[in-house]
Each structure stands twice: as C-alpha cells, then as structure tokens.
Amino acid sequence: MGALLSRLTGGGNPTRDFTASIVVFLVAMPLCMGIAVASGVAPEKGLITGIIGGLVVGLLAGSPLQVSGPAAGLAVIVFEIVREQGLSALGPILVLAGVIQFVAGVLKLGGWFRAISPAVVHGMLAGIGVLIVVGQFHVLFDAKPLANGIENLSAMPGRLFGLHPGDVSGAELAFGIGLLTIGAMLGWEKFRPASMKLVPGALVGVVSATLVAWFAGLDVTRVVVPSNILSAVDVPNGGFLAKLGDPAIYATALAIAFIASAETLLSAAAVDKMHDGVRTDYDKELRAQGVGNLLCGFAGALPMTGVIVRSSANVQAGATSRLSTILHGTWILGFVALLPWLLREIPMAALGGILVVTGIRLVSLSHVKHLFHRYGPLPAFIWAATLITVVAEDLLTGVLVGLGLSLLELIPHVRRLKLGVHVHQRRDDAEGHHMELHGAATFVTLPKLTKALDAVPQDKALTLHVGRLSAIDHTSAEMLNDWLQRRRAAGMRIDLAGEKGRLRGLAA
C-alpha cells in the first residue's frame, strides 16, 4: 500500500492532496450535475463522467494536477446531438472521439493543439458562454432551453414579462431560487473570510437554495437521480454497434475530439503556469483523455475534458500530485452511492443559476482587449467572428471560421514561413546558452519552437537572439511570452538580444 501511495504522489504530500481533493469534490459536484442539465441529459450522466475523470484519467493523466470531468465547453454540442440524433447516438460518438484522441496522442500530435490561435479558442469559449447563459436562463424559470441560441435569446424577454409578482407560483418561485443561488454564490466569493477561501461559491449557492426550498416547502422542480448510480450506466447493445457503422456520426466524433483536446491542452498549459511542479506531457494527456472518453461512451455518460475551474481549485487548495484528482473521483462515487436522496432535494433552478454565472465568466472581454492592444485588430476580429458564428450557427462552424481567418496572418509571410532555431553554448560564455531564431515565427512552426524552448536547461542563463526574426504572429508571441514569464518566475535569467527585440507583441 505504501509503495502504491508513493507512486501516486510522486514524492508529493499525501495530507495536502487529501484536503485538496475534498475542495475539488465540493466544486465538482454541482458543476457535474449542472453541465449535464445544460447538455439536455440527466444529472447522473455528468456525475459518472466526473467519477471516470477522477479515478481513471487522474491515474493516467500527463498533467498530474489537472482535473478532468464534464465541461461547459461541450454542453452545447452535446445538447445538439441529443436533440437531433437522440441520446443513443452519444455513446458511439464518444467511443469514436476517444479513439481519435488516443491515436492522436500515440502519434504525438499534442503539440499541434497548442498551435491553435488563442483568438479562436477564447472566441469559441465566449460563444459557448453566451449559449449557456441564454439557454440556462430558461432553466431559472423551471422551463427547458429551446432548440438553438437565437431562439433562446429571442424568448428571454417573454420569460421576464411573463412573471406575475402578485401571483407567486411555479415560475416565480423557481426564478427566485435561481437569483438566490447567483446572489449567494457571488456574495460569498466577494465577502468570504480569508479562513474559508477554499469553500467554493458554487457550493454555497446550491446549499443556500436547497435549504430555502426545503424549509419553505417550495413547489419547484428538483434534481432527479437514481437510487443506484449503476442503473444510470447504459451498457452497449446491438444498437450501439449499429450506430458505429453510421457514417453520419464520424464528423461529430471528430469535432468533439478536436474541441475536447484543444480545451484540455490549453487548460493544462494554464495549470502549468500555476505551479512549479511536473510539466504537462501533452501526448500522454491526450492518450488519457482518449481512454476517459472511450469509457464515457461505453457508460453512456457525457464527454470529458480537462477543466480549468476544478483544476485551478485543485492547485489553489495545495495539491501536490495526481492523488488529489483520483480521490476527488472517489468522493463523488461515495456521495452518489450513499446519499442520492440528498441530491434529489436540489432545485433545478439552482443548477441553472450556477451555469449562468459559469457562462458569463467564459466571455472574457479582457482577453479580446489584450489581443487588440498588443497585436492589433486582426486577432480581435477573429475572436469576434468565432463568437458570433458559434452563437448564430453552431460550435463546429464557428471554430472552422476562426481557423480559416487565422490563415490571414500567414499571407504576408507566405513565401518565407520557415523558422530556424539554433541553440549553442559559446566558449566565452560557460555560464549560459544562446538560442538564435530566424525566419517567421507563426502557428505553423509553433510546435518546433515549443520543443526547442522546453529543451533549454533551466539551471543556466539564456540569451535569446530575435534580431533575425522577420515576424511573429500572436499565437507564437503569446506562447513565447508565457514561456518567458514562467522561466523567469522560476529564477532563470533570460535576455532578449537583437535590434528587433521588441517585435510587436513580444515582451522584452
């Protein structure tokens, strides 16, 4: 047992991992159920994904401190799958998506996902955030979301004007519970005492709404979960295999694999910035996510990704190894197995309130301002175009539009897209290394640049020569700035040299 614990902690602190796992569990429970509701499926489907994300992906992950589970970023596409193809199509699609992710990891394609333009990724997340808000707004009234974002948006005024303050009944009570959840969640996050900073606002919001609804005996729609979580597992049957032979699901599976992988690896990169421990093995993380989605498909659950909210809570709570992620999955399993009656007291409007706040936070206006001020109007335009297309059309179309617009950044450099990277140690400088870059640093060459930078020893100084760089696009500049910030924060001395050391977007 001691040897197993040592392997899981990798020299970490089991006590800190134990306490961190409880914090992550408290954050994950309401989000797992809320994202399932936003996806148009039963809450227990999200809980199963959370359990697999903890127990299985936590054990295999290439990012030890990242937490995996159902993600708001995939709720919209799952909702569309369930509405158009039925819940029975979700399992086979996830199996295929999991296989695609695993193969991508085996082929070492993880680095290429980091080459996706930040403008596209954040535009996609902002579009998803808008769709979640306008969809979950209707859940606040104990109603179901409509078919698409435009219909949800146009129906919002009618929901508000349909309230009758003098006749407080179903919709009015549910809306009050939803507002209470949002108010308690935001109020706690703003005014909570320092000694209780690890208690998540989402938990406070759900508990407050549940207690009020229970003590007041309010007639509002509540969460429905089975008494036995195993009954929520849909074992594959003959129809499952028949669906795998349907060519129509392959494009959807590829879309889920692509979006889930991009979100996972970008989340892993963000987690790496939060701690000084083991760096992410992107290909190993892809393989782990592939196994997780494969199992979720066989179990009839929701798709999973690495999720930044739960991952950041894990790091901030003091986690030191993958043991924390694994234990959080254990706590979810234990809770739903032993206390399902408690989950059935949670009002649906409370989960809607949590998802409304989550959706709003996905729309990062500060990021688009950052893109505009540092790199000019084109990345900001890509962000806006991706967002609008996601809301007006669908998620996959929005991502493809964003990726297509990203190619515009290559036009000025189409005849000189090569990037040269030369690393050496001069005889007169025994204390440090020199890296010389020449050509154009674009997202096309980003995997090569990333590999070279990560291979630079951290215990010696580095002089980075950028004078022969003809251009650097915003994707490469963001990656390089993040790398510089992380290495300098770890105590490494890095100097930029060259007459073009202040290329647009590149910090000195």
Element (H, E) at 325: helix 323-338
The set of residues, in sequence order, having a beta carbon less than 8 Å from that of 340 and lying 6+ positions away, is 225, 226, 227, 228, 229
Which two structure tokens, joined as six digits, stand for 156?
Answer: 């919002």
Position 116 scores a pLDDT of 85
Average pLDDT over every residue of 385-393: 91
Please say if the pLDDT value at position 498 is more than 80. Answer: no
Per-residue pLDDT band for 501 (boundaries 50, 70, 90) equals very low
Which residue has 């148009």 as its token pair?
40
pLDDT per residue over 53-95, tens digit each?
A: 999 999 999 999 999 999 887 888 899 899 888 888 999 999 9
Per-residue pLDDT band for 458 (boundaries 50, 70, 90) equals confident
Residue 383 or 495, more confident: 383
Average pLDDT over every residue of 445-466: 87
The set of residues, in sequence order, having a beta carbon less than 8 Å from that of 173 and lying 6+ positions away, is 218, 219, 220
Domains present along the chain, CATH in parentheses: 2-121+214-349 (no CATH), 365-412 (no CATH), 419-497 (3.30.750.24)
Query: Measured between alpha carbons, how far is 136 from 126 in angstroms, rounded to an integer?
Result: 15
Please say if the pLDDT value at position 425 is more than 80. Answer: no
Residue 63 or 490, more confident: 63
- Amino acid at position 86, single letter: G
> Would you call 458 exposed, middle or buried from its count of C-beta atoms within 10 A (0-12, 13-18, 19+)?
exposed
